[in-house]
Homo-oligomer: A and B are copies of this chain.
Amino acid sequence: MREVKIGLCGLGTVGSGVFNVMSRNLAAINARSNCQISIAQVGCRRDNVACDLSKANITRDIFEVAQNPDIDIVVELIGGTTVAYELVMLALENGKHVVTANKALIAEHGMTIFAQAEARGLMVCYEAAVAGGIPIIKALREGLSANRINWLAGIINGTTNFILSEMDTKGREFADVLSEAQAKGYAEADPTFDVEGIDASHKLAILASIAFAMPLSLEGLFTDGITQLEPQDVAYARELGYVIKHLGIARQTDAGVELRVHPTLVPERSLIAGVNDVANAIMVNADAVGTTLFSGPGAGAEPTASSVIADIVDVARAMDSYPDSWVPALGYSSSVIEPRTLMNIEDVETGFYIRFSALDKPGVLSDVTKIMGDAGISIEAIIQREQPAGERYVNVIILTNVTKEKCLNEAVTHIEHLETVRGEVSFIRVEYLDQV
């Protein structure tokens, strides 16, 4: 059997997972890849007590790994987009294939990296960059290759899903759950990346590029986090038969491509509504297959390692064959990858959940429904809920049919100007998920 030598860069959570799973399952991994795979060098700033490094060849200089002539595949698990970028480019310059779990790196520098790899006849694989252990990149690039992808919608950040699940099942406040998530290690000390949707936007950019054969880019991608969500909205959504999930959504329409990350009401009977805690799931709707769903652990040492090693096996198996036989980086030959018109969020059509505070007196609802009607918006449901303790104002919650966001904004402005309405009208987008 051919020998294939791995250089592992980074020995944090994911790195230690890769090291340990590779050691534990090596015989099976070799029998799958038809190669003799070994970790020839580990580049890390410090050892990780989770790993038995007694036989490992350790260097503190990761760039040494990228230049080590023995090494066939450099596995980049250091994170970030500066040193990681240098490392990956250096590895390619030195003729190494690359496997990475780095979503930010691929989303931001993917096109440069893929071009470099293609020019040098090398592979760059990144299954672990999206949705941890779920083989969604493979499903999109290969499993669904017969299809025109219409849309995909995913829970692609475990931290926000954990927070939303807790808010839903226990009625807790966002800030309260966030503290717990930080204590449990589900959320970073600085949670901005997760709760503001930045991490999800990186992953969505990657999924969309594969789905729609368009270059990787974060530009024009609409991103909204979950920090403004209130427990009452989660509860009202349930009352209406919906669950709030933080989704990354990509859709092809005649007017352009929608790319957006935001809290979203989904029907509670839909499969994705039942994906809770730190789990991830991606729904894909495509012309031939219809709707599929892929779910599983979206993060963690060994789930992510599972995807990193799957990439290593793929590369090891194919590296000595000719590059035309490899799956292209974005699933399509690079010659057909073309920028697409992205839609402004104002032009996107979704359903809407609207909440505002109005005086509890006759005529208010008729004013509001007239405004909605004038804006061409049909109403799916209205509920009115009393505030506690003799309060003269009630909460009004409206669920609309699918409408253009600019129409909704217009209606919202009119509603806010009603004398009977107090404060702002808040809204959350709704996806009915059954539409093509």
Contacts and interface: CB of A to CB of B under 8 A. Distances in A.
Given A135-B143, A139-B138, A271-B295, A303 B290 contact: yes
Interface in A269-313: 269, 271, 274-275, 286-297, 300, 302-303, 305-310, 313
A354 interface: no
Given A289-B133, A290-B303, A309 B146 contact: yes
Interface in A95-121: none
Contacts of A335: 31
B145 A309 contact: yes
Contacts of A294: 292-294
Interface residues of A, number: 69
Contact of A143 (B139, B300, B305): B139
A175 B293 CA distance: 31
Interface stretch (A71-79, A233-241, A323-331): A323-331
A164 to B, nearest CB: 16
Contact of A144 (B141, B147, B310): B310
B289 A303 contact: yes
A2 B333 CA distance: 13
A435 interface: no
A297 B303 contact: no
Interface in A137-160: 138-139, 141-148
Interface stretch (A182-190, A224-232, A314-322): A314-322
A309 B289 CA distance: 11
Contact of A135 (B139, B320, B332): B139
A377 B84 CA distance: 56
Contacts of A302: 287-290
Given A25-B147, A309-B146, A292 B333 contact: no
Q: How many of these chains are in the complex?
A: 2
A215 interface: no
A408 interface: no
A213 interface: yes
A28 interface: yes
Given A292-B296, A297-B289, A322-B321, A306 B139 contact: no
Interface of A: 2, 17, 21-22, 24-25, 28-29, 31-34, 127, 133-135, 138-139, 141-148, 213, 269, 271, 274-275, 286-297, 300, 302-303, 305-310, 313-314, 317-318, 320-322, 324-328, 331-333, 335-336
Given A28-B332, A291-B297, A293-B295, 17 more contacts: A21-B287, A25-B147, A25-B148, A25-B288, A32-B333, A134-B292, A142-B313, A144-B310, A274-B274, A288-B305, A289-B297, A292-B295, A293-B294, A317-B324, A318-B318, A318-B321, A325-B325
19 contacts: A21-B146, A25-B146, A25-B287, A29-B145, A29-B146, A31-B213, A32-B328, A133-B290, A135-B138, A138-B143, A142-B314, A143-B310, A145-B314, A146-B310, A269-B274, A289-B302, A289-B303, A293-B295, A318-B325
